[in-house]
Structures are given as C-alpha cells and as structure tokens.
Amino acid sequence: MDQTMTQAASSQDPSRGEPLVAVRNLTKRFPITKGIVLQKEVARVHAVEDVSFEVYPGETLGLVGESGCGKSTTARLLLKLIDATSGNIFFEGTNITKLKRREMRPYRREMQMIFQDPYASLNPRKTVGSIIGAPFTIHKTEGEVKKRVQDLMDRVGMNPEHYNRFPHEFSGGQRQRIGVARALALRPKLIVCDEPVSALDVSIQAQILNLLEDLQDEFKLTYVFISHDLGVVRHISDRIAVMYLGHVVEVAAADELYQNPKHPYTAALLSAVPKGHTDTDLTQRVVLTGDVPSPIDPPSGCVFHPRCPKAREVAGSAGSVPENCRTEFPPLGEVSRSHLCACWYPLKEGESLQKAAHA
C-alpha cells in the first residue's frame, strides 16, 4: 500500500476495515484558454478542490450538492475518465491516479458508471444486445455473450427478447435499465451512479432505486451515488458527503447528517427540502443570500464565508465575518464520532441556523 494513503487517512474508520476507494486531496482545475493558435491560459475553473473521502465495501456513499459544485467531476475523476490535476485515488489500496489507459483496463472491470442521461449515454446506432454485450467483447470474457446479455436483461427487469431493439424504442426508465445492465455486466465492485434517476419520472425513479438496492444486496455492490435530490440520497445512502464549490464540507451517516447537520451550508441545504403538507415549516427555511460564487475565482478562506449566516453571527454584525473564515479553509475534521465537518464554527446539536441568521 502506498504510504500517503495511510498517512492522510485521518478520517478512516478502523472498524470498517480497508476502504474500497480512498480519495486523497483530489483537485481538478480546468484551464480556460484564449486564442486559437497560441492557447494562452487565462484562468482556471476550480471544479474540485482538495477533496478527500473514502468508500467502504458494501456501502452507499451519497454525494450531494448544488449544480456545478463538482459532484460529477469527482465521479469522473474517480473512474479516471478525466485526469486529476493533483491528488491521489486508491482502489483497494493501489494508487490508480497515474495509470495509463492500458494499465487501467483491469481496474475498469471493477469500477463502472451509471450515467445521468439515459438518452445520451446509449449509442443510438447499436442494439441493446450489443450495448450490454460490449464489456464482454472488450474484455474478451469467456462464454456466450448473447446468453449472458439476456440473463442481465432479465435481471434488470427487461424483456430478453428485446435484445435486437435500438435504444430509441424504449422509454427513459427502460433505457436506464439498459445502463444498469451495462454497468453490471462485468460484476464490478464499485458502481458510480451519476444522478441515475434525475432524468426520470418520479414513479420510474422509485423502480430504478429499488432495482439498484436489490442489485446491491445480490451482488455485494458498493455505490457512490450522486444526486441533488436530497430525498433520494437519504433514501439510498449509508453515508453522505456534502459538496460546495468543489469542496467536501461535511461527511456523516445519512440519518446523522439529516438530523444533526454541523456545517451551516448543510443546514441551509436541508432546510430547503420541501417538508410535505405543513406550510408552517416555511418559516424555518434558511434562505442564503447571493449566488454561488464563480468557481473561476473562488472566495478566499472558507469558500462558503461570503454567504454563511453562522459566520455573520459569530462576527456579531451583518457585514463582517471572522478573520479565520476569510483567510483559511477549515480542515475537514471529526466533530463527533464518524461525523466530519469543514467549518471553524460548526453548529451545535439542536442549534438552529434560523436563529443564527436572525441574530
């Protein structure tokens, strides 16, 4: 095992054994270039900044955050679909960050992805059979491809006789089943689900989520589940990591996070979830002021400080924030058992941000 993994694994939970995937200080910055011939780099989009977390075998790690906070970039970095600017990714203890495409191929069998858009992620010119069968053909596995593909189709709830149909002949839900079958084909250990149900009807979402849960039990799968739908994430995740502007700001067990958020951003995010029938809850909503800052020029210190109600409360006046919030990014540290939070002034149990915002 690479030394840096154990060193940096401050948040590692010894009771859960070796993590399947460990991400250490992962950073991705996309250059913005100007000019056609001499492409001068004028700025960088800070898509993912110094992100560390681990995923344990058999669990589902939810990754939530607003659009553009770096969830999908993190997923693509995990699967090495794009290369990281810096940081490391360990899969079962092996550092896969620097592996070349050819060297990466054996690991591709172990980690798969389910994509958000069930329309764009299936080649419109290939039959369902050849889409699901592609992993077998690429990895030259033994056995008859057609039989195995039809078994998979049956397993994900499709009619195996539709083997020769094209993706456009299916509805969104059925297409997403094709995507699930493709991801499942090589019996991977890890499946990264990038908003797998966001493009679907609510009734179909439930079917796909149930299918994913059934498959997890049956094949002992580990999921990284990305979504901006907090209800869906809570339903399916064991642990949840919250991202804001490229940073992971809080990690905790699902129920713990929802009941006892420590980071002011998490609290604000959760308060935005519609709460069913009562409208009395509306008064408890924490409305953040301003927009998410540009990832091209992120704020100094804690990236949340310009919008943070808690920081205002600590500083004591509406216009100012504490010095350390402005100058230094708080480390992602354990605030209680297995509950990590990157905040200089985490919320106490039962503390309401509502009060903080009005104080």
Residue 280, burial from CB neighbour count under 10 angstroms (0-12, 13-18, 19+): exposed
Task: Return the residue matching tokens 């993912």.
Answer: 48
Rule CB under 8 A: is residue 162 a binding residue for other proteins?
Answer: yes
CB of 138 to other proteins, least distance (A): 5
φ/ψ of residue 108, rounded to 5? -60, -30
Residue 332 C-beta: closest distance to other proteins, Å: 23
| Only segment of 14-22, 106-114, 311-319, 351-359 that touches other proteins (CB under 8 A) | 106-114
**What's the DSSP call for residue 292?**
P
Which of 121, 222, 260, 266 binds other proteins (CB under 8 A)? It is: 121
Nearest to 221 by CA among 56, 13, 22, 338: 56
Stretch that binds other proteins, among 40-48, 91-99, 171-179, 220-228 (CB under 8 A): 171-179
Q: What is the helix (H) or strand (E) element at residue 226, kind and residue range?
A: strand 222-227
Q: List the interface residues with other proteins, window 35-94 (CB under 8 A).
A: 76, 79, 81
Query: In whole angstroms, how close is the CB of 195 to other proteins at the nearest point?
Result: 12
Q: Sign (positive/negative) of CA torsion 197, 92, 338, 309? A: negative
Q: 251-290 mask for other proteins (x: CB under 8 A)?
A: -------x-----------x--xxxx----x---------
| 357 close to 343: Cβ distance less than 8 angstroms | no
Nearer CB in complex with other proteins: 109/326: 109
Q: Residues with Cβ < 8 Å from 20, sequence gap 6 or more?
A: 54, 55, 56, 57, 91, 92, 189, 190, 222
Q: Is 246 an interacting residue with respect to other proteins (CB under 8 A)? A: no
Please give the residue ranges that form the binding site for other proteins (CB under 8 A). Answer: 76, 79, 81, 101, 104-105, 108-109, 112-113, 115, 117, 120-127, 134-135, 138-139, 156-159, 161-166, 168-171, 173-174, 179, 182, 185-186, 202-207, 209-211, 214, 230-232, 234-235, 258, 270, 273-276, 281
